[in-house]
Structure 1
């Protein structure tokens, strides 16, 4: 069995600089709680989106387990558009309602899912019987989960907290169990 722990990043204040946006004060407090959640778990490797808020959220886990964080572009958040979105909620609802629709310069759900799943499958193949932490973002995390379970949809995404942690257990590429292990 391969166990994947998806860690959605903790709170950060919005800025247009996706790569360098840090955690907020609350985000750092929650990052410490995320770290404690993994204190007694055997973690073999840690991957993360290259975005600072995702890396910062799993830094404590890496330090606790004396592991390096391997950043992967494929786990960064989906690109919604290359321009300003006036109504974020309406835009997100649109892309979830029409999986092949993309705003100008953005990724459709299907395109973003394919990008992330390709890397996730390589990780599962490379780490049989390992416990792996992946620091990521809400939309792309749920899209990866949806690949294995159609119930992970827009409504599921709307219920996520920041941070949030899900444990997925795989037998090869077959998902055998999903559990939310984050307690707010």
Structure 2
């Protein structure tokens, strides 16, 4: 069994709400990202339903002549339903304790599980692009490589791309975005 997934963090966006669009710079980044994938074989594209993720995925799909599948399991992880003044500290704590959960939010483990379910449903031999958000991306990468933590989340760029090659029970994780 082998499958390859390209986990993409969306391009620069105007904000965090689901309806936040890409910035002008983000639109340009999406075009560059589409060119980046020119030499890479892809047979499936799945994206978060958030507008910034969709607008990141479309240029790639257009160039590759692929249908964009929308999957709500790739939405960003909700830390809490309340505004937390110290949200950054609380987010860091959730990388150490995958079961830690704040009011109205989901734990890192829960978010990781829903993202992993998307990957688990992919067929053997598939080469799939998943377009998602920074926190969920880091949690999915953490599933395959335990070194992914709060600091790695902070170091992500918009956009960012990681290649994960999954063979049997092993995974090779590599950042491929420049």
TM-score past 0.5 threshold:
yes
Going from structure 1 to structure 2, the CA distance change for 1:47 and 1:172 (only over 3 Å counts) comes to farther
Shift of 1:89: 1.8
Corresponding residue of 1:78: 77
Residues 61-92 of structure 1 show CA distances to partners (whole Å, capped at 9, x for unaligned) of 10001111101111111011112122332231
CA contact (8 A) 1:10 1:162 kept: yes
TM-score relative to the length of structure 1: 0.91
For the residues of structure 1 that align with 2:83 and 2:131, how far apart are their CA atoms?
Answer: 26
Corresponding residue of 2:158: 162
Corresponding residue of 2:174: 179
CA contact (8 A) 2:145 2:173 kept: no
Structure 1, unpaired ranges of 5+: none
Aligned residues: 177
Q: What is the alpha-carbon root mean square deviation over aligned residues?
A: 1.3
Corresponding residue of 1:11: 12
Shift of 1:101: 1.1
For the residues of structure 2 that align with 1:76 and 1:54, how far apart are their CA atoms?
Answer: 9
For the residues of structure 1 that align with 2:90 and 2:56, how far apart are their CA atoms?
Answer: 26
CA contact (8 A) 2:141 2:173 kept: no
Corresponding residue of 1:148: 144
SS in 2 for 1:91: helix
SS in 1 for 2:34: helix
Shift of 1:98: 2.4
- List structure 1 runs of 4+ shifted beyond 4 angstroms: none
CA contact (8 A) 1:46 1:69 kept: yes
Structure 2, unpaired ranges of 5+: none
Shift of 1:130: 2.2
